[in-house]
Every structure is written in structure tokens, then in C-alpha cells.
Structure 1
Amino acid sequence: MDESPTSPAPVDVVLPCLDEAAALPWVLSRIPRNWRAIVVDNGSTDRSAETARAHGAHVVGEPLRGFGAACHAGLAAATADIVCFCDCDASLDPALLPELVAPLTAGSADLVLGRRRPTTFRAWPPHARLANAELARLIRRRTGLPLHDLGPLRAARRRDLLALDLTDRRSGYPLQMVVRAADAGWRVRETDVPYHPRTGRSKVTGTWRGTWQAVRDMRRVLDEDPAAVTARDGGGAR
């Protein structure tokens, strides 16, 4: 993590957070050395913010509830050239992020996604796994990208992400990022990462209701007009 506030970190890691105090110590201990962890507290009631600060993270408060709201607040707070995103529930290992960043620095990709590979059956509930498979099929049809997962572990350049002008503030945010990146001609790459049972209960995929709401949010994104992206100035990547 960033040990010197006077020198900017080479990479910022955005960690959207809602009641993840139990998972935070392990997650933050896995942030690569000299990278900065930005924990976005999205209304936690379990001392997540205090725990994050105690473990060296930069904490940002985002009162508007929603996964996208938390992610975008972290992106707005980032200053590094490269920004990574990672779930804050210990299901994914931030120590793997350098593998996702490498294609960016090598100039061979503009957005790198971690394809989740469950380490145990209980790491990914059946209903969430089925919903993800259907979503991946829709993404392939909508974008032409050969993706298999809407990986929550991801990396891209900050200025390019800001140029996408992402507007979703709910569960559709990570999908909107991929769809708009594809429409803007980005080189999107997928790499396998192990997916572990999370610490605590998922706020999105832990229930059928949460999964259904996420699917509804994402369907709205898939219905977005590609011409709107083409008409925007920029979109960023090389």
C-alpha cells in the first residue's frame, strides 16, 4: 500500500465496501506493496471505515447506496495512472492484481478482467453461477467479446475509465464499463483467477432477490444504444 502520502502510488485499488470489517484485514494485507488501497464505505454499520484506516487504507465515504456509486466514488478519488477494482469480501486475492496490470503496462490491453474460477462449490451459489453464465452469453452477443465472466477483479487506465462517462450507480456498473469499453474499441482481455468463498453474506448474489435485481440492472445496460457511445467525444483507449 501507499506508505508515503507525498509520492503518488503507481496503482490505486478501489475496494467498494458495505459491512466488510471481518474481511478487510486480510484483503488489505494482500494489496501489493506501494500500491494504494481506496476503501469506499457505502454506509457500513460495522466499523468497516475504522478497520480500513487502521490497516493503512485511504477511506472515502459514499452515502448514495449502490455498487456502482461506491466504485465510481473510488475512481473519482483515484490519482494513479492505473486503477484496479476488487471486491472487499476476501473472495478474490488482491495480490493477483499485478498479473492483470501487466498487459496494460505492456500495451497489449486496455481493460483486463479476472475470470472467476471457484475453488469450492460453495464459493459460487448455483443461482448466481447460472445468472452469470446467461449474462456472459448476452455480453458476447452484444459486444462480440469472447468473455465468460463479468469479473469484479479488473484493471484499466484511470483517464480512459473517466472518458467512458459511466452513469450506472447500481449493479450494472461493471457491465456498463465492459459494454462501453467494447463500443469504444478497447482491447479487452480475460485471465483466470481463483474465486474463494466470501467472508459474510453477499449483498447482491447471496439471495435470489439480490440476483434478480442485479440482472434487471444489467439488462438496462445491455439495452443501451451503442450510437450514444460513438457520439461521445473520447472513450479513451489506444
Structure 2
Amino acid sequence: MVDVILPCLNEAEALPWVLTRLPAGYRAIVADNGSTDGSALLAVEYGARVVHVPQRGFGAAAHAGLEAATSEVVCFLDADATLDPRQLPRVVDPVLAGTSDLVLGRRRPVSTDAWPLHARWGNAVLAHRLRRRTGARLYDLGPMRAARREHLLALGLEDRRFGYPLEMVVSAAQAGWRIGEVDVDYLPRAEGSVSKVTGTWLGTLRAVRDMSRVLAR
């Protein structure tokens, strides 16, 4: 069994699609970060375990899900239906096989509207800084990722905002982990849906700021 950690804030429209596409042997843990649209109740209806996370922040939700997980290998996945859960084995299999310690999914947009320019710019800036800092050949911050749970907890990750995914990679590189990257499809958001992290230029700049602080430590 592999636990799939889904940080969630008001994703009621996307959750049914995500939860019904989990492969056999994958178990959803929805880390609800204060949703007001019924996401938590909906997740339970679809068989997910729900962890309520009162501390606001993407990192707070992601880490609470990690602490609640019980499987040896865990995945992280955005709950907004931009990534297909059926592709989770692409990031999990190298970890299970022992050939990688941390695997990130490099997003490959399936259409021109799947990845807005400002979000792509922010990701490129941070990936470039990450390569310079760690030497890891990564080109995406990879919201779909997998690693062994106990190893992740041992990293002692502290960021509870947008810097959490980047801190994970930096800390893993410093610990000598074998870090890999595989291609995954990146899908357009549902009509009217906007990313809570990089859905606007302001949100992108805020994410870049938080992550840049991680790199500057």
C-alpha cells in the first residue's frame, strides 16, 4: 500500500475526479486546510482518510499528511485535478525499486492553456536556482513526488508555507539522496478554477519569495 497525501483547500469540484482515479494499492489521505466548500465530507464519501489541519499553509497541510501516513513509501499530489493520479506509479516505482530516493514528476502541459505564463516563469526561476544550489538536474518543482516516509520525516522539514516542496528537495540533496525526475502530464484546470499558489502574478511572486528564503538559508 502507498499513501497519497493530498493537501486540500476548497477542492470539492476536483476531488471526485482525483479520488476515483487512484490506482489499486494507493490510499488517499486528504489533508484539509480549512475548506469551506465541503471538501472534507466529500473526501470521506469517496473513501479517503481526512486529516484536519488548522494551521494554514501548504506546507502545514502537506506535513500533517506525511505524519498521518503509515505506508513505507508516500506520494504527494495536488488535489486540483491538474495531475492524473493514474500516473503516480511513474514516481513511485523507482523508489520501490531502490534506484531513487526522491522522484519528482516533471510537468509536461498537454495544451497551451494548462500552465499559465506567470506560473511557468516562477517555476523556471526556482528550478534554475535549485540546480545551482544543489547540483540536482531538476527542471520542475514537481507537485507529484514520492519518497520513503521515514526518510522524509528524518529530514526535519520546517517550512509550513509555499517553501515546503523546495525545502524537501534542498534537504534531500544535502543528505546525499538520489533525486530523479520523470515526465507526467499537466492538465488544464477546470473552467473558473485558479491555483491557490500560482494562480496570479501576485501568488506566483509570493511563492517565489517563500521558496527563495529556503534557498537563502
For the aligned pair, the TM-score class normalised by the smaller chain equals over 0.9
Moved over 4 A (4+): none
**Is 1:165 matched with 2:119?**
no
Q: 1:184 corresponds to which residue?
A: 175
- 1:129-188 deviation per Cα after TM superposition (whole angstroms, max 9, x unaligned): 011111111000000011100000000000000000000000000000000000000000
1:52 corresponds to which of 25, 33, 43: 43
1:193 corresponds to which of 184, 197, 201: 184
Q: 1:7 corresponds to which residue?
A: none
Q: 1:93 corresponds to which residue?
A: 84
Q: 1:83 corresponds to which residue?
A: 74
1:219 corresponds to which of 203, 207, 212: 212
Give the counterpart letter for 1:81 in structure 2: E
Classify the secondary structure of the residue corresponding to 1:22.
Answer: coil
Query: Which is higher, the Rg of structure 1 or of structure 2?
Result: 1
The TM-score normalised by the length of structure 1 is 0.89
Q: Quick one: distance in 1 between partners of 2:124 and 2:90?
A: 24
The TM-score normalised by the length of structure 2 is 0.98
Q: How far apart are residue 34 of structure 1 and its match? A: 3.0
**Is 1:35 matched with 2:37?**
no
Q: Quick one: distance in 1 between partners of 2:160 and 2:140?
A: 20
Q: 1:138 corresponds to which residue?
A: 129
- 1:40-65 deviation per Cα after TM superposition (whole angstroms, max 9, x unaligned): 11010100001100000000000111
- Percent identity reads 66
Classify the secondary structure of the residue corresponding to 1:115.
Answer: strand
Q: Quick one: distance in 2 between partners of 1:34 and 1:159?
A: 19
- 1:86-122 deviation per Cα after TM superposition (whole angstroms, max 9, x unaligned): 0000000111111211111111100000000011111
Q: 2:140 corresponds to which residue?
A: 149
Classify the secondary structure of the residue corresponding to 2:113.
Answer: helix
1:207 corresponds to which of 194, 197, 200: 200
2:52 corresponds to which of 37, 61, 70: 61
**Number of residue equivalences:** 215
Q: Quick one: distance in 1 between partners of 2:96 and 2:54?
A: 34
Q: 1:234 corresponds to which residue?
A: none
**Once structures 1 and 2 are overlaid, which stretch shifts more, 179-188 or 201-210?**
201-210
- 1:189-234 deviation per Cα after TM superposition (whole angstroms, max 9, x unaligned): 000001001232111111111111101100110012xxxxxxxxxx
* Superposition RMSD in Å: 0.7
The gaps in structure 2 that reach 5 residues or longer are none
